[in-house]
Chain A
Amino acid sequence: MDNHSSNEKPWQAVRTEAVESLLVELGVIDSARVDEIVRHYEEKVGPKGGARVVAKAWTDQEFKKRLLADGLAACAELGLGGPETEKLHVVENTASVHNAVVCTLCSCYPWPILGVPPAWYKSSAYRSRMVREPRKLLTEMGLPLDPSVEIRVWDSVSEIRYLVLPERPEGTESFTEEQLADLVTRDAMIGVAKVTV
Protein backbone atom coordinates (compact mmCIF):
# COMPACT_ATOMS: atom_id res chain seq x y z
CA MET A 1 0.00 0.00 0.00
CA ASP A 2 2.78 2.46 0.70
CA ASN A 3 4.12 4.93 -1.85
CA HIS A 4 0.96 5.12 -3.89
CA SER A 5 -1.06 8.13 -4.85
CA SER A 6 -4.10 6.50 -3.28
CA ASN A 7 -2.27 6.89 0.02
CA GLU A 8 -1.70 10.59 -0.44
CA LYS A 9 -2.71 12.65 2.57
CA PRO A 10 -3.53 16.31 2.10
CA TRP A 11 -1.99 17.08 5.48
CA GLN A 12 1.39 16.14 4.07
CA ALA A 13 0.93 18.66 1.28
CA VAL A 14 0.10 21.38 3.78
CA ARG A 15 3.02 20.50 6.05
CA THR A 16 5.33 20.58 3.06
CA GLU A 17 4.07 24.01 2.10
CA ALA A 18 4.53 25.20 5.68
CA VAL A 19 8.10 23.92 5.93
CA GLU A 20 9.11 25.21 2.51
CA SER A 21 7.68 28.69 3.04
CA LEU A 22 9.35 29.04 6.44
CA LEU A 23 12.70 27.85 5.09
CA VAL A 24 12.47 30.40 2.29
CA GLU A 25 11.56 33.22 4.71
CA LEU A 26 14.51 32.28 6.91
CA GLY A 27 16.86 32.32 3.94
CA VAL A 28 17.78 28.67 4.29
CA ILE A 29 16.62 27.67 0.82
CA ASP A 30 15.63 29.34 -2.42
CA SER A 31 12.44 28.02 -4.03
CA ALA A 32 13.79 28.68 -7.51
CA ARG A 33 16.60 26.22 -6.81
CA VAL A 34 14.04 23.63 -5.67
CA ASP A 35 12.04 24.25 -8.89
CA GLU A 36 15.20 23.65 -10.91
CA ILE A 37 15.85 20.31 -9.23
CA VAL A 38 12.22 19.22 -9.72
CA ARG A 39 12.56 20.00 -13.43
CA HIS A 40 15.86 18.16 -13.50
CA TYR A 41 14.22 14.96 -12.25
CA GLU A 42 11.01 15.39 -14.22
CA GLU A 43 12.61 16.26 -17.54
CA LYS A 44 16.33 15.62 -17.69
CA VAL A 45 17.29 12.57 -15.65
CA GLY A 46 15.67 9.20 -16.02
CA PRO A 47 15.89 5.71 -17.45
CA LYS A 48 16.73 7.12 -20.89
CA GLY A 49 20.18 7.98 -19.54
CA GLY A 50 20.81 4.44 -18.40
CA ALA A 51 19.42 3.11 -21.68
CA ARG A 52 22.05 5.10 -23.60
CA VAL A 53 24.73 3.52 -21.44
CA VAL A 54 23.40 0.02 -22.10
CA ALA A 55 23.05 0.56 -25.85
CA LYS A 56 26.59 1.87 -26.07
CA ALA A 57 27.90 -1.10 -24.10
CA TRP A 58 26.13 -3.44 -26.54
CA THR A 59 27.69 -1.81 -29.58
CA ASP A 60 31.14 -0.77 -28.33
CA GLN A 61 33.24 -3.50 -26.68
CA GLU A 62 35.87 -1.06 -25.44
CA PHE A 63 33.20 1.07 -23.76
CA LYS A 64 31.70 -2.04 -22.19
CA LYS A 65 35.08 -2.98 -20.70
CA ARG A 66 35.43 0.49 -19.22
CA LEU A 67 31.85 0.37 -17.95
CA LEU A 68 32.37 -2.92 -16.14
CA ALA A 69 35.68 -1.70 -14.70
CA ASP A 70 34.44 1.70 -13.47
CA GLY A 71 30.75 2.36 -14.06
CA LEU A 72 30.73 5.96 -12.94
CA ALA A 73 33.68 6.99 -15.14
CA ALA A 74 32.10 5.33 -18.19
CA CYS A 75 28.73 7.00 -17.50
CA ALA A 76 30.53 10.35 -17.20
CA GLU A 77 31.69 9.89 -20.80
CA LEU A 78 28.00 10.17 -21.72
CA GLY A 79 27.51 13.18 -19.47
CA LEU A 80 25.78 11.25 -16.68
CA GLY A 81 26.57 11.75 -12.99
CA GLY A 82 25.44 13.60 -9.88
CA PRO A 83 24.36 13.23 -6.27
CA GLU A 84 23.67 9.92 -4.54
CA THR A 85 26.05 7.86 -6.66
CA GLU A 86 29.73 8.00 -5.70
CA LYS A 87 30.62 4.59 -7.12
CA LEU A 88 28.74 2.48 -9.62
CA HIS A 89 29.11 -1.22 -10.28
CA VAL A 90 27.62 -2.52 -13.47
CA VAL A 91 26.64 -6.18 -13.35
CA GLU A 92 26.11 -8.11 -16.56
CA ASN A 93 23.29 -10.51 -17.30
CA THR A 94 24.11 -13.53 -19.44
CA ALA A 95 22.32 -16.70 -20.50
CA SER A 96 23.40 -18.34 -17.23
CA VAL A 97 23.47 -15.45 -14.71
CA HIS A 98 20.69 -13.02 -13.86
CA ASN A 99 21.29 -9.97 -11.66
CA ALA A 100 18.71 -7.87 -9.83
CA VAL A 101 19.08 -4.89 -7.49
CA VAL A 102 17.33 -3.95 -4.24
CA CYS A 103 17.99 -1.91 -1.12
CA THR A 104 16.37 -3.60 1.84
CA LEU A 105 17.15 -0.76 4.27
CA CYS A 106 15.88 2.34 2.52
CA SER A 107 15.66 2.24 -1.33
CA CYS A 108 19.13 3.30 -2.52
CA TYR A 109 19.15 3.71 -6.29
CA PRO A 110 21.46 5.22 -8.93
CA TRP A 111 19.55 8.50 -9.34
CA PRO A 112 21.92 10.15 -11.85
CA ILE A 113 21.73 7.13 -14.15
CA LEU A 114 18.09 6.00 -13.79
CA GLY A 115 16.30 8.97 -12.22
CA VAL A 116 13.84 8.67 -9.35
CA PRO A 117 13.02 5.03 -8.51
CA PRO A 118 9.52 3.70 -9.22
CA ALA A 119 7.13 3.31 -6.29
CA TRP A 120 7.32 -0.48 -6.41
CA TYR A 121 11.10 -0.40 -5.90
CA LYS A 122 10.49 1.51 -2.66
CA SER A 123 7.63 -0.71 -1.53
CA SER A 124 7.81 -2.88 1.56
CA ALA A 125 6.90 -5.92 -0.54
CA TYR A 126 9.83 -5.55 -2.93
CA ARG A 127 12.34 -4.65 -0.20
CA SER A 128 11.34 -7.57 2.00
CA ARG A 129 10.95 -10.27 -0.64
CA MET A 130 13.65 -9.67 -3.22
CA VAL A 131 16.45 -11.05 -1.05
CA ARG A 132 14.44 -14.01 0.26
CA GLU A 133 12.50 -15.27 -2.74
CA PRO A 134 13.75 -13.56 -5.90
CA ARG A 135 12.69 -16.41 -8.21
CA LYS A 136 9.14 -16.35 -6.99
CA LEU A 137 9.00 -12.56 -7.05
CA LEU A 138 10.53 -12.25 -10.52
CA THR A 139 8.03 -14.82 -11.80
CA GLU A 140 5.18 -12.76 -10.32
CA MET A 141 6.63 -9.67 -11.97
CA GLY A 142 6.60 -11.44 -15.34
CA LEU A 143 10.12 -12.84 -15.47
CA PRO A 144 10.18 -16.60 -14.86
CA LEU A 145 13.77 -17.86 -14.97
CA ASP A 146 14.95 -21.40 -15.61
CA PRO A 147 16.28 -23.06 -12.42
CA SER A 148 19.63 -23.46 -14.17
CA VAL A 149 20.01 -19.68 -14.29
CA GLU A 150 21.96 -18.41 -11.29
CA ILE A 151 20.28 -15.47 -9.59
CA ARG A 152 22.40 -12.77 -7.99
CA VAL A 153 20.57 -10.23 -5.88
CA TRP A 154 22.53 -7.09 -5.03
CA ASP A 155 21.41 -5.55 -1.73
CA SER A 156 22.88 -2.08 -2.16
CA VAL A 157 22.88 -1.00 1.48
CA SER A 158 26.19 0.88 1.32
CA GLU A 159 27.12 3.78 -0.94
CA ILE A 160 27.95 1.68 -4.00
CA ARG A 161 25.15 1.77 -6.54
CA TYR A 162 24.28 -0.88 -9.11
CA LEU A 163 23.16 -0.95 -12.71
CA VAL A 164 22.20 -4.16 -14.46
CA LEU A 165 23.53 -4.54 -18.00
CA PRO A 166 20.77 -6.61 -19.60
CA GLU A 167 21.29 -9.12 -22.40
CA ARG A 168 20.98 -7.73 -25.88
CA PRO A 169 17.93 -9.32 -27.48
CA GLU A 170 18.30 -11.51 -30.54
CA GLY A 171 17.29 -10.05 -33.88
CA THR A 172 18.79 -6.62 -33.16
CA GLU A 173 22.04 -7.07 -35.10
CA SER A 174 21.11 -4.37 -37.59
CA PHE A 175 19.83 -1.88 -34.98
CA THR A 176 21.55 1.44 -34.46
CA GLU A 177 22.64 2.53 -30.98
CA GLU A 178 19.61 4.85 -30.79
CA GLN A 179 17.21 2.09 -31.82
CA LEU A 180 18.73 -0.19 -29.19
CA ALA A 181 18.45 2.50 -26.52
CA ASP A 182 14.73 2.79 -27.26
CA LEU A 183 14.29 -0.88 -26.34
CA VAL A 184 15.98 -0.68 -22.94
CA THR A 185 13.58 -0.26 -20.04
CA ARG A 186 14.13 0.89 -16.49
CA ASP A 187 12.93 -2.46 -15.19
CA ALA A 188 15.55 -4.30 -17.25
CA MET A 189 18.27 -2.13 -15.71
CA ILE A 190 17.02 -2.94 -12.20
CA GLY A 191 16.89 -6.60 -13.19
CA VAL A 192 13.18 -7.41 -12.96
CA ALA A 193 12.64 -7.67 -16.73
CA LYS A 194 14.46 -8.60 -19.91
CA VAL A 195 14.88 -6.38 -22.92
CA THR A 196 12.66 -7.53 -25.77
CA VAL A 197 12.13 -6.40 -29.34
Chain B
Amino acid sequence: MNGIHDMGGLHGFGLVVQEKNEPVFHSHWESRIFCITQVLDTKEIWNLDEHRHEIELMNAADYITAGYYGRWLFAMERLLARKDILRSEEVQRRVDELHGGVSPLSPPDSSSRGWPLRDESKVRWGAWRHEQTVQPRFSVGDSVRVRNIHPEGHTRVTAYARGKVGVVDRVNAEPWVFPDTRAHYRGENTQAVYGVRIAATELWGPQAETNTWVFIDLSEDHLEPV
Protein backbone atom coordinates (compact mmCIF):
# COMPACT_ATOMS: atom_id res chain seq x y z
CA MET B 1 0.00 0.00 0.00
CA ASN B 2 1.12 3.55 -0.63
CA GLY B 3 1.40 4.78 2.94
CA ILE B 4 3.39 6.99 5.25
CA HIS B 5 5.56 4.00 6.25
CA ASP B 6 7.16 4.04 2.80
CA MET B 7 9.44 6.94 3.61
CA GLY B 8 12.30 6.69 1.14
CA GLY B 9 12.81 10.07 -0.52
CA LEU B 10 10.17 12.05 1.39
CA HIS B 11 10.96 15.66 2.29
CA GLY B 12 10.18 17.57 5.44
CA PHE B 13 11.38 15.45 8.34
CA GLY B 14 14.27 17.70 9.24
CA LEU B 15 17.54 16.75 10.88
CA VAL B 16 18.59 13.36 12.18
CA VAL B 17 19.01 13.81 15.90
CA GLN B 18 21.60 11.54 17.52
CA GLU B 19 21.43 11.02 21.24
CA LYS B 20 24.69 10.63 23.18
CA ASN B 21 24.96 7.55 25.40
CA GLU B 22 21.55 6.37 24.34
CA PRO B 23 20.08 3.62 26.54
CA VAL B 24 18.99 0.35 24.91
CA PHE B 25 15.39 1.21 25.79
CA HIS B 26 14.13 4.65 26.78
CA SER B 27 11.40 3.38 29.07
CA HIS B 28 10.11 0.25 30.69
CA TRP B 29 7.05 -0.07 28.46
CA GLU B 30 9.19 0.07 25.31
CA SER B 31 11.30 -2.84 26.52
CA ARG B 32 8.15 -4.80 27.39
CA ILE B 33 6.51 -4.23 24.00
CA PHE B 34 9.65 -5.16 22.09
CA CYS B 35 10.17 -8.34 24.08
CA ILE B 36 6.51 -9.41 24.44
CA THR B 37 6.33 -9.20 20.66
CA GLN B 38 9.36 -11.44 20.38
CA VAL B 39 7.74 -13.99 22.66
CA LEU B 40 4.49 -13.81 20.67
CA ASP B 41 6.53 -14.25 17.46
CA THR B 42 7.32 -17.77 18.66
CA LYS B 43 3.69 -18.69 19.38
CA GLU B 44 2.53 -19.38 15.80
CA ILE B 45 -0.12 -16.67 16.12
CA TRP B 46 0.94 -14.38 13.28
CA ASN B 47 3.59 -14.11 10.60
CA LEU B 48 6.20 -11.42 10.17
CA ASP B 49 4.56 -9.84 7.15
CA GLU B 50 1.10 -9.46 8.64
CA HIS B 51 2.73 -7.84 11.67
CA ARG B 52 4.44 -5.29 9.44
CA HIS B 53 1.24 -4.76 7.47
CA GLU B 54 -0.75 -4.14 10.64
CA ILE B 55 1.63 -1.27 11.42
CA GLU B 56 1.15 0.10 7.90
CA LEU B 57 -2.59 0.18 8.49
CA MET B 58 -2.20 2.78 11.25
CA ASN B 59 -3.68 6.16 10.64
CA ALA B 60 -0.87 8.23 9.09
CA ALA B 61 -0.87 10.90 11.80
CA ASP B 62 -0.78 8.23 14.52
CA TYR B 63 2.05 6.46 12.71
CA ILE B 64 4.21 9.57 12.91
CA THR B 65 3.46 10.43 16.53
CA ALA B 66 3.36 6.93 18.05
CA GLY B 67 7.06 6.27 17.54
CA TYR B 68 8.60 2.90 16.83
CA TYR B 69 7.40 1.03 19.91
CA GLY B 70 4.02 2.72 19.89
CA ARG B 71 3.52 1.20 16.44
CA TRP B 72 4.42 -2.22 17.80
CA LEU B 73 1.93 -1.78 20.63
CA PHE B 74 -0.76 -0.87 18.11
CA ALA B 75 0.03 -3.89 15.91
CA MET B 76 0.09 -6.24 18.88
CA GLU B 77 -3.33 -5.15 20.13
CA ARG B 78 -4.90 -5.23 16.68
CA LEU B 79 -3.51 -8.62 15.72
CA LEU B 80 -4.51 -10.19 19.03
CA ALA B 81 -8.00 -8.78 18.56
CA ARG B 82 -8.19 -9.96 14.94
CA LYS B 83 -7.25 -13.48 16.03
CA ASP B 84 -9.76 -13.28 18.92
CA ILE B 85 -7.01 -13.98 21.44
CA LEU B 86 -7.42 -10.73 23.33
CA ARG B 87 -10.46 -8.57 22.74
CA SER B 88 -10.18 -4.80 22.57
CA GLU B 89 -12.98 -4.43 25.19
CA GLU B 90 -10.96 -6.54 27.61
CA VAL B 91 -7.87 -4.42 27.09
CA GLN B 92 -9.86 -1.20 27.50
CA ARG B 93 -11.51 -2.45 30.68
CA ARG B 94 -8.12 -3.37 32.10
CA VAL B 95 -6.69 0.02 31.09
CA ASP B 96 -9.59 1.81 32.80
CA GLU B 97 -9.22 -0.30 35.94
CA LEU B 98 -5.46 0.31 36.11
CA HIS B 99 -6.04 4.04 35.67
CA GLY B 100 -8.71 4.02 38.36
CA GLY B 101 -6.71 1.94 40.82
CA VAL B 102 -9.46 -0.72 40.87
CA SER B 103 -8.72 -3.84 42.91
CA PRO B 104 -9.15 -6.67 42.30
CA LEU B 105 -8.93 -6.39 38.52
CA SER B 106 -11.61 -8.05 36.41
CA PRO B 107 -10.37 -11.29 34.92
CA PRO B 108 -10.44 -11.88 31.14
CA ASP B 109 -13.83 -12.98 29.74
CA SER B 110 -14.57 -16.63 30.39
CA SER B 111 -16.12 -17.27 26.95
CA SER B 112 -14.14 -19.33 24.44
CA ARG B 113 -11.54 -17.55 22.36
CA GLY B 114 -8.86 -18.14 19.77
CA TRP B 115 -6.38 -19.31 22.40
CA PRO B 116 -5.07 -21.97 22.71
CA LEU B 117 -4.62 -21.97 18.94
CA ARG B 118 -6.33 -24.66 16.94
CA ASP B 119 -3.92 -26.59 14.71
CA GLU B 120 -5.39 -25.08 11.55
CA SER B 121 -4.75 -21.56 12.88
CA LYS B 122 -1.08 -22.11 13.58
CA VAL B 123 1.23 -20.00 11.49
CA ARG B 124 4.74 -20.87 10.40
CA TRP B 125 7.48 -18.34 11.08
CA GLY B 126 10.71 -17.87 9.11
CA ALA B 127 11.79 -15.81 6.12
CA TRP B 128 12.96 -18.64 3.88
CA ARG B 129 12.14 -22.28 3.43
CA HIS B 130 15.23 -24.42 3.83
CA GLU B 131 13.53 -27.54 2.48
CA GLN B 132 12.69 -25.92 -0.88
CA THR B 133 14.77 -24.83 -3.86
CA VAL B 134 14.20 -22.07 -6.41
CA GLN B 135 15.52 -21.40 -9.90
CA PRO B 136 16.37 -17.70 -10.09
CA ARG B 137 15.18 -16.03 -13.26
CA PHE B 138 17.85 -13.30 -13.25
CA SER B 139 21.64 -13.40 -12.95
CA VAL B 140 24.27 -10.99 -11.69
CA GLY B 141 24.77 -8.24 -14.28
CA ASP B 142 21.25 -8.45 -15.77
CA SER B 143 19.45 -5.17 -16.32
CA VAL B 144 16.08 -5.18 -14.59
CA ARG B 145 13.21 -2.78 -14.17
CA VAL B 146 11.37 -2.55 -10.87
CA ARG B 147 7.73 -3.18 -11.66
CA ASN B 148 5.51 -0.15 -11.43
CA ILE B 149 2.79 -1.56 -9.22
CA HIS B 150 0.67 -0.01 -6.52
CA PRO B 151 -0.95 -2.87 -4.62
CA GLU B 152 -3.44 -1.90 -1.95
CA GLY B 153 -2.12 -4.53 0.46
CA HIS B 154 1.32 -5.24 1.89
CA THR B 155 4.35 -4.93 -0.35
CA ARG B 156 8.08 -4.53 0.13
CA VAL B 157 8.68 -2.79 -3.19
CA THR B 158 9.44 0.79 -2.22
CA ALA B 159 7.60 3.57 -4.03
CA TYR B 160 10.77 5.47 -4.93
CA ALA B 161 12.15 2.47 -6.85
CA ARG B 162 9.09 1.63 -8.93
CA GLY B 163 9.60 1.85 -12.68
CA LYS B 164 13.34 2.40 -12.23
CA VAL B 165 16.06 0.44 -14.00
CA GLY B 166 19.00 -1.13 -12.22
CA VAL B 167 21.46 -3.99 -12.45
CA VAL B 168 21.37 -7.22 -10.48
CA ASP B 169 24.29 -7.05 -8.05
CA ARG B 170 23.52 -10.14 -5.99
CA VAL B 171 21.28 -13.15 -6.31
CA ASN B 172 19.97 -14.50 -3.02
CA ALA B 173 18.93 -17.85 -4.38
CA GLU B 174 17.29 -19.13 -1.21
CA PRO B 175 13.52 -19.76 -1.37
CA TRP B 176 12.38 -16.53 0.31
CA VAL B 177 8.76 -16.24 1.27
CA PHE B 178 7.03 -13.50 -0.75
CA PRO B 179 5.77 -10.99 1.83
CA ASP B 180 3.16 -9.47 -0.48
CA THR B 181 1.13 -12.68 -0.48
CA ARG B 182 2.02 -14.17 2.89
CA ALA B 183 0.82 -11.06 4.71
CA HIS B 184 -2.67 -11.80 3.36
CA TYR B 185 -2.55 -15.61 3.58
CA ARG B 186 -2.44 -15.91 -0.19
CA GLY B 187 0.47 -18.34 -0.22
CA GLU B 188 4.18 -18.22 0.43
CA ASN B 189 5.25 -18.10 -3.25
CA THR B 190 8.90 -18.64 -2.41
CA GLN B 191 11.32 -16.98 -4.80
CA ALA B 192 14.79 -15.51 -5.13
CA VAL B 193 15.54 -12.04 -3.77
CA TYR B 194 17.91 -9.80 -5.70
CA GLY B 195 20.19 -7.04 -4.59
CA VAL B 196 19.55 -4.47 -7.31
CA ARG B 197 21.97 -1.59 -7.84
CA ILE B 198 20.26 1.60 -9.02
CA ALA B 199 22.05 4.85 -9.82
CA ALA B 200 20.97 7.84 -7.77
CA THR B 201 20.43 9.75 -11.05
CA GLU B 202 17.90 7.11 -12.13
CA LEU B 203 16.03 7.52 -8.85
CA TRP B 204 16.25 11.23 -8.23
CA GLY B 205 16.99 12.84 -11.59
CA PRO B 206 18.64 16.25 -11.50
CA GLN B 207 18.49 16.37 -7.68
CA ALA B 208 20.63 13.24 -7.36
CA GLU B 209 23.94 13.40 -5.55
CA THR B 210 27.04 12.49 -7.56
CA ASN B 211 28.74 9.13 -7.44
CA THR B 212 25.96 7.57 -5.41
CA TRP B 213 24.11 4.27 -5.72
CA VAL B 214 21.23 2.69 -3.88
CA PHE B 215 21.08 -1.07 -3.50
CA ILE B 216 17.63 -2.49 -2.80
CA ASP B 217 16.69 -6.08 -2.08
CA LEU B 218 13.70 -7.01 -4.20
CA SER B 219 11.70 -10.19 -4.76
CA GLU B 220 11.73 -11.71 -8.22
CA ASP B 221 8.04 -10.86 -8.71
CA HIS B 222 8.94 -7.18 -8.30
CA LEU B 223 11.33 -7.21 -11.25
CA GLU B 224 11.00 -7.48 -15.02
CA PRO B 225 13.70 -7.87 -17.66
CA VAL B 226 14.79 -4.81 -19.62
Contact = CB atoms under 8 A, between A and B. Distances in A.
Interface residues of B, number: 85
B107 A25 contact: yes
A187 B21 CA distance: 12
A8 B39 contact: no
A153 B203 CA distance: 13
A127 B77 CA distance: 25
Nearest to B196: A155
Interface string A152-164: 1111111110000
B55 interface: yes
Interface in B104-151: 105, 107-108, 113, 115-116, 126-128
Counting chain A CB atoms within 10 Å of each CB, the highest count among B32, B128, B176, B193 belongs to B32
A3 B213 contact: no
A123 B98 contact: no
Contact of B41 (A83, A129, A148): A83
Given A26-B85, A151-B212, A155-B158, A2 B65 contact: yes
Interface residues of A, number: 79
B126 A46 contact: no
Nearest to B107: A25
A87 B175 CA distance: 12
Contact of A157 (B27, B99, B158, B170): B158
Interface string A1-44: 11111011101111111111111011111100110011001100
Interface of A: 1-5, 7-9, 11-23, 25-30, 33-34, 37-38, 41-42, 46, 83, 86-87, 89, 104-107, 115-116, 118-120, 122-129, 131-137, 140-141, 147-160, 187
